[in-house]
Amino acid sequence: MGLNIFKMLNSRVLTALLIILAIVSAAGAAYELRRIGQIQTFNKAILEAKVPQTDVQSFEAKFATAYWLAKNERYKESTLLYTHLLEHASIKQKAAIQHNIGNIYFMRGVAINGTNMQVGKEAEYLFRQAKNQYQQSVRLDNSNWGTRYNLDRMILMLPGTPTPGVGESESPGLIMGNIPVGLP
């Protein structure tokens, strides 16, 4: 049986197999070189804020578009695009998306904070949303120090949660359930 294999592998058959292998390898290398060129063109287009010619429907292209929208203060469109990307993202990608949505809320809160005393509650709401997004991101991926830093800033910026029944009035109201303060 072993001798039959050696008889079949004469020099002509072996040469033909090696030629086929060389052609397949060359085709694979040509494809990879073409793909590397496409990736470089894609990255260049993204850096220049242009629409890429390849991989238009890829996660990376959509993520870059959402990032560009946020940089250009088109927060609603950016948030919507990021939210749609969450469905198809890996854990690390979800953490990055949550971080960027937190940044959007943070930038919106900073933009309106202090311009008018009536918008204090809206700014606080946006800061709380940013804090929630940063917390989600840290839960998914605790290795991003930028997210952890932003979460720390949010915690320091936001007022503490008030304790029920404690306030500035003389009659703080109910502390526990239906038991009024001051009765025996």
Whole-prediction pTM: 0.63
Q: What is the pLDDT of residue 112?
A: 82
Q: What is the pLDDT of residue 176?
A: 45
Q: Residue 29 — φ and ψ, nearest 5°?
A: -65, -40
Sites in the chain below the pLDDT cut of 50:
171-184
Q: Residue 176 — φ and ψ, nearest 5°?
A: -130, 125
Task: Using alpha carbons, list the distances in angstroms from residue 80 to 74, 139, 182.
Answer: 10, 22, 51
